């Protein structure tokens, strides 16, 4: 593995379906806890284009009505499977897509109401994003 030289900017999305349920996926990268999908921004790519690409790659979902929500710093936290320094740019969006096809980054997924999240094992950065959304 190449040693990281700079923080890696990433995008993530709280995706809501037409019923108002939130998409969460369980990932081995996050200690088998639920997280929102997302990933790195490629060189020369806008954050919105990166978000659309990452969501499509990880879930097969097409997203729309994309709105910036918040950013977080992630500096070598043990909750991720490898030591990394990320800057998370998180968005809220919607989907009309019905078919979810996960790539190898996730093992399962759920569509949940916000009232159901308190009983789920959710990784702490996703939980902070959800809490920020609820407060806003």
Burial string for 8-19 (b: 16+ CB within 10 Å, else e) reads eebbbbbbbeee
Q: Which domain holds residue 20?
A: 8-135
Q: What is the CATH number of the domain that holds 126?
A: 3.90.79.10
2 within some domain: no
47 within some domain: yes
3 within some domain: no
pLDDT tens track for 12-55:
999 999 999 999 999 999 999 999 999 999 999 999 999 999 99
1 within some domain: no
**Could you give phi then psi for residue 78, rounded to 5 degrees?**
-70, -10
68 within some domain: yes
What total number of domains does the chain contain?
A: 1
pLDDT tens track for 47-84:
999 999 999 999 999 999 999 999 999 988 888 877 88
123 within some domain: yes
pTM for the whole structure? 0.94
60 within some domain: yes
117 within some domain: yes
pLDDT band at 2 (very low <50, low <70, confident <90, very high): low
Element (H, E) at 26: strand 22-27
């Amino acid at each position: 593995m190449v040693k990281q030289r700079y923080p890696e900017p990433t995008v993530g999305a709280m995706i809501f379906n037409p019923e108002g349920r939130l998409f969460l996926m369980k990932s081995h990268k996050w200690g088998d806890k639920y997280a929102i999908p997302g990933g790195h921004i490629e060189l020369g790519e806008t954050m919105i284009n990166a978000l659309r690409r990452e969501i499509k790659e990880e879930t097969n979902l097409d997203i729309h009505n994309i709105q910036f929500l918040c950013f977080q710093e992630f500096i070598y936290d043990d909750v991720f499977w490898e030591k990394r320094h990320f800057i998370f740019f998180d968005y809220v969006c919607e989907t009309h897509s019905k078919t979810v096809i996960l790539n190898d980054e996730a093992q399962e997924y759920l569509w949940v109401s916000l009232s159901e999240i308190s009983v789920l094992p959710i990784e702490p950065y996703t939980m902070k994003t959800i809490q920020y959304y609820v407060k806003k």
